[in-house]
Amino acid sequence: MVLLFVDLKTIGKVLRDVRYIYMIPALMVYFIAVYARTLRWRFLLRPMIGTPVRAIYPVVVVGYMANNLIPIRIGEILRSYYLSMRESISPISAFGTITVERAFDVMVLLSFFTCAALVLPISGVLTHVAGKVPGGIPVILVVAVLPFVVVTGVLALVWFAPNSLGTSVIRVLTWLLPVSIRDRIVKTFVELVEGLTVIRSPAGLLKLALLSLPVWLLEATMYYLILLGFDFGSNFDNLWEVLAVVLVFTAAANLAGVFPSSAGSWGPFDFFGAAALVALGVESGVAAAYAITVHVALWLPVTSLGALLLIMDRTSLRHLLSVMNSDTSNRQRSQAASSAKDFR
């Protein structure tokens, strides 16, 4: 998608002059950021599994690997199943905790825009990006904000409403279905809510927010280190402006990939990240080359490590996918058999 406003020849010319030595500390910081994500997920999982029997870090890395290889963020579901194979937890409940993670990710990324606005005039960023997207600002707002509003609304509902209320609503909505299928849906709902409501207290939510902040500050630090190799920071007056640019890029590129899209968010991440930089005054070829370089640094190492960890665990991505498919098939067969029994 970055090719919409810059050609490959220009990108290649910029990439030849990049100082890639900065990639070494950048990648070190990135894997520390992944560890910070692990600590946050352990905090969410603690009420359900206590002290993990096995390390959580490999599960997070494998989930990232799967997201990088499979579209529509299937890796999040696969991460839940992989955890359920290693710990005593329902994959649906584990997926609920990942949904909570995503909600807090969006909040932190939106706060980055607010912080950057204190230093840079970023009001033109949205207008510039919207000019390159069919439908303009309304489409961007619907795609970027509406899912967040929906997820936050659902979280607020399950956090503050009694669990019995949600179960009663599900039973009413599914009253025409056979009893066995209705019970299966209710059970799935209860397991999902268990993950969504694992943290309810204000103190717990505050701690979760504080655990989410270093995750993205570390990733933004990685982006800053890569930026040093491009040296377009000289376009700005001082270090604070450069840091604000990094925050804007971090927010724009990652908000584009928070919700289901292409495998590894190739396309949305690069386009929106580069477009935000161009809106802030970075030359289009440099912006596109930088966005692609950051994306490769995010994609290749963690994907390779995830594959290695699976091999060491004597399993494979295909096996994990088969476990997911098998579980789904078993559920469907169980429901079909129960429906037939109910009919008889």
User: What's the pLDDT tens digit per position in 122-179?
Assistant: 766 666 565 555 555 566 666 556 656 766 676 676 666 666 666 777 777 777 788 8
CA atoms within 13 A on the CB side of 179: 4
Q: Is the pLDDT of residue 338 over 60?
A: no
Q: What average pLDDT does this structure show over 252-274? A: 83
- Calculate what percentage of the chain has a pLDDT beyond 90: 40
Q: How many angstroms separate the CA atoms of 273 and 294, rounded?
A: 10
Give pLDDT, residue 244. Answer: 93
Give pLDDT, residue 336. Answer: 46
The sign of the torsion formed by the CA atoms of 325, 327, 332, 337 equals positive
Give pLDDT, residue 93. Answer: 93
Q: Is the pLDDT of residue 101 over 70?
A: yes
The sign of the torsion formed by the CA atoms of 122, 216, 110, 259 equals positive
Give pLDDT, residue 330. Answer: 58
Give pLDDT, residue 135. Answer: 57
Cα 39–Cα 40–Cα 44 angle in degrees, nearest 5: 115
Q: How many angstroms separate the CA atoms of 192 and 317, rounded?
A: 24
Q: Is the pLDDT of residue 232 over 60?
A: yes
- pTM exceeds 0.75, yes or no: yes
- Residue by residue, what is the 3-state secondary structure of the chain? CHHHCCCHHHHHHHHHCCCHHHHHHHHHHHHHHHHHHHHHHHHHHHHHHCCCCCCCHHHHHHHHHHHHHCCCCHHHHHHHHHHHHHCCCCHHHHHHHHHHHHHHHHHHHHHHHHHHHCCCCCHHHHHHHHCCCCCHHHHHHHHHHHHHHHHHHHHHHHHHCCHHHHHHHHHHHCCCCCHHHHHHHHHHHHHHHHHHCCCCCHHHHHHHHHHHHHHHHHHHHHHHHHHHHHCHHHHCCCHHHHHHHHHHHHHHHHHCCCCCCCHHHCCHHHHHHHHHHHHCCCCHHHHHHHHHHHHHHHHHHHHHHHHHHHHHCCCCHHHHHHHHHHHHHHHHHHHHHHHHHHHC
Q: How many angstroms separate the CA atoms of 54 and 38, rounded?
A: 13
Q: Is the pLDDT of residue 304 over 50?
A: yes
Give pLDDT, residue 26. Answer: 97
Phi, psi for residue 280 in degrees, rounded to 5: -90, 0
Which positions ≥6 away from 231 have C-beta within 8 Å?
A: 19
Angle between helices 268-279 and 239-255 (to 10 degrees): 150
The tokens of 260 are what?
Answer: 């289901």
- Out of 90-94, 128-132, 179-183, 264-268, pick the least confident: 128-132
Bigger pLDDT: 134 or 299?
299
For tokens 């640019």, what's the residue?
Answer: 245
Bigger pLDDT: 98 or 320?
98
Q: How many angstroms separate the CA atoms of 334 and 344, rounded?
A: 15
The CA-atom distances, in angstroms, between 280 and each of 13, 18, 191, 226 are 21, 20, 45, 18
- Out of 12-16, 172-176, 334-338, pick the least confident: 334-338
Q: Is the pLDDT of residue 239 over 50?
A: yes
Q: Is the pLDDT of residue 340 over 80?
A: no
Give pLDDT, residue 272. Answer: 87
